[in-house]
Amino acid sequence: MKTFLQSLRLLAALTVLTGLLYPLAVWACGRAFFPHAAEGSLLLRDGRPAGSALLAQKNADARYFQPRPSAGDHATVASGAGNQAWTSAKLRAAIEERRRAHSGSAEVPADLLTASGSGLDPHLSPEAVRAQIARVAESRQLSAAQRVELDSLITRLTEGGALSPARINVLQLNLALDATFSR
């Protein structure tokens, strides 16, 4: 009986320690030292959450830049790669379909043709973003001067480049697009 009571006390102590105190301490440290990340890295539009800077969002509106294709249709529950070999006929067909969707151009950047590993990558290369400028500018009816302003907006929002690949967060770009050019 003594062993049973000791085991029960140990179970209670470890439950409180690992099930309550430790998670509470991690949560408090996250809120104190990394508040933006702890709250999901939310980006706001008109004071309301528009999405997370860490997750791509499906957007079919021609007035916005489109994110990288997703094997899981941008769903966080089913995130993950398609796990198809480069020799896969299914992968080749998907790439050709995506190429045709981009006006059949032979010079479509790879990140517009292939899904990311998680299927939720929020970034595109500057080349992939610039490949979409004509469509976005045409659907928003931007003048030549506004197209130059759009190009400088893309340059301003480009991250990395020195030690990491240059990339642009598509949601941040679309929010800046709405702020710069009326919706």
Whose structure tokens read 């032979």?
106
Cα(41)–Cα(52) distance, integer angstroms: 5
Would you state the torsion angle of the CA atoms of residues 53, 70, 126, 63, taken in this order, to the nearest 10 degrees? -80
Whose structure tokens read 């528009």?
50
The mean pLDDT of the chain is: 86
* pLDDT of amino acid 28: 94
Whether the CB-CB separation of 166 and 158 falls below 8 Å is answered with: yes
Which tokens go with 103? 């006006």
Q: Which residues of the chain have pLDDT under 70?
A: 74, 76-82, 104-106, 183
The tens digit of pLDDT for each residue in 2-48 reads: 899 999 999 999 999 999 999 999 999 999 999 988 888 888 888 88
* pLDDT of amino acid 78: 63
* pLDDT of amino acid 155: 92
* pLDDT of amino acid 97: 86
* pLDDT of amino acid 79: 60
Which tokens go with 48? 């309301």
